[in-house]
Structure 1
């Protein structure tokens, strides 16, 4: 074995050890301002983007709405998103942001309540990207692994408010 070859092998080994050590210490030693927000362990942003593009709002007819919603997702700082369906037929209604720590569900865009509470949720759904479809999950509790929800049917406005009839002023 030539000396140059053994030194390069040692050099690689030292480099590997040094990089492992430095990356571990850099995480614990940083004491500067908290400008960097630690990414959430789980984010379903890409899953929801795929679901919108290939399932909820697939096709040319939905392209405008889909692009608008994807744009809103890009502007949002949220890591978790939820699709709201009208009912078990999985008809898209709106997109919400979900914060697992506080369990807050707030509307980003679309038709539906401004926010959703645990009591309002009727069904939980998971998106299967292989089958390009949502399937209901038997869970009762909200978690970051949920991709879509339905709310109880009585929470949807069934009738539009009646327009007031014109009152003809009495002539005197």
Structure 2
């Protein structure tokens, strides 16, 4: 390896190209209109769209539901989305918007709680686009890399209204 190539990796003058490889001052000197706006948060919108189309709601049978959900995603101004699964079997239940800054998880569409708090979360999942499948993340804290979650099973149980009716029938 020549000395000029090794020095260009250190941010020094690259003599072959006649420029510096890392120029921090050029960014701060520009005073013209700001054309590029940095994204406020990393978006997982395309990952979630792929997961819905190829894994969660794949096939003709689910096409109507999938299209409705994708339409809701487009209407939403959110950058981050979360899929809620019924359990570790990764059965799709609903789609949520996730704001990592405020830690708010709000339902966009589907079946499930209106909001999800951190205490309600049981398992975290990441979508693998190559394998077209979800894999559990061995972590307990939410991050921008989480694509799907499950909530504790007792949160799915609905209150049975059969018991109070029987008591009322006995009294009359």
Task: Tell me the TM-score normalized by structure 2.
Answer: 0.74
The DSSP-based 3-state class of the residue aligned with 1:60 is: coil
Could you list the per-position Cα deviations for residues 22-43 of structure 1 after superposition, in whole angstroms to 9, with x for gaps in the alignment? 9943367x9xxxxx98522410
Structure 1 or 2: more helix by fraction:
1
Residue correspondence of structure 1 range 43-122 to structure 2 within 5 A: 43-122=43-122
Aligned residues: 143
Q: 1:26 aligns with which of 12, 32, 44?
A: 32
Equivalent in the alignment of 1:16:
none
Task: Kindly indicate whether the alpha-carbon contact (under 8 Å) linking 2:78 and 2:97 is maintained by their aligned counterparts in 1.
Answer: yes
Larger radius of gyration: 1
Task: Determine which structure has greater relative contact order: mean sequence separation of CA pairs < 8 Å that are 6+ residues apart, divided by chain length.
Answer: 1
For residue 83 of structure 1, report the CA deviation from its aligned partner. Answer: 0.1
CA distance in 2, matches of 1:27, 1:103: 33
For residue 68 of structure 1, report the CA deviation from its aligned partner. Answer: 0.3
Equivalent in the alignment of 1:6:
none
Residue correspondence of structure 1 range 7-26 to structure 2 within 5 A: 24-26=30-32
For residue 161 of structure 1, report the CA deviation from its aligned partner. Answer: 3.8
Equivalent in the alignment of 2:154:
154
For residue 144 of structure 1, report the CA deviation from its aligned partner. Answer: 1.0
For residue 139 of structure 1, report the CA deviation from its aligned partner. Answer: 1.0
For residue 157 of structure 1, report the CA deviation from its aligned partner. Answer: 2.5
User: 1:164 and 1:103, CA in 2 relative to 1: closer, same or farther beyond 3 A?
Assistant: same
Instruction: After the TM superposition, list the runs of 4 or more consecutive aligned residues in structure 1 that deviate by more than 2 angstroms.
Output: 20-28, 36-41, 157-165
Root-mean-square deviation (CA, aligned residues, Å) is 2.9
CA distance in 2, matches of 1:23, 1:57: 49
CA distance in 2, matches of 1:23, 1:97: 38
Task: Tell me the TM-score normalized by structure 1.
Answer: 0.74
For residue 21 of structure 1, report the CA deviation from its aligned partner. Answer: 6.5
For residue 121 of structure 1, report the CA deviation from its aligned partner. Answer: 0.2
